Amino acid sequence: MTAQQHPAPIEGTHLFDGIAAAKGFELNAMCYSFNEAANRAAFLADEDAYCARFNLTSDQREAVAKRDVLGMIAAGGNIYYLAKLAGIFGLNVQDVGALQTGKSVPEFKQFLLDQAQQIKQLEATHG
């Protein structure tokens, strides 16, 4: 295995490393631009032109057009940058978490509550 090849640490996940960062640079740069309200408005006014301005790949552009957050991650998107774009799409962190885990949003929320309860129980028994 070379430095350019590595297995995913958990099946079905995408490792965000230098390779993914290079692959997703343009997509992440575009998402970073959404820190400015004017850029969010420009994206909403002409999505194709805005994506072209950042030279997105065809895979990245297709994922954006389909509102496919998991596809954007596979195309090199960093979830922290994608959060701005997800917000434009009307998605919140729990929506994205549900997508990533293959759960519905209510199932994902319950999963989080269950995990919190397990941690509380461990803390109570192990100090």
What pLDDT band is residue 11 in, cutting at 50, 70 and 90? Answer: low
Q: And the tokens for 12?
A: 């079905």
What average pLDDT does the segment 44-49 reach?
97
Q: What is the pLDDT of residue 19?
A: 87
Is residue 34 scored above 60 in pLDDT?
Answer: yes
Element (H or E) spanning 4, and its range? none
Cβ 51 vs Cβ 64: under 8 Å = yes
Q: In whole numbers, what is the pLDDT of the chain averaged over residues?
A: 89
Look up the pTM and report it: 0.76
Answer with the residue of higher pLDDT: 15 or 40.
40
Q: How far is it, in rounded angstroms, from Cα 86 to Cα 95?
A: 9
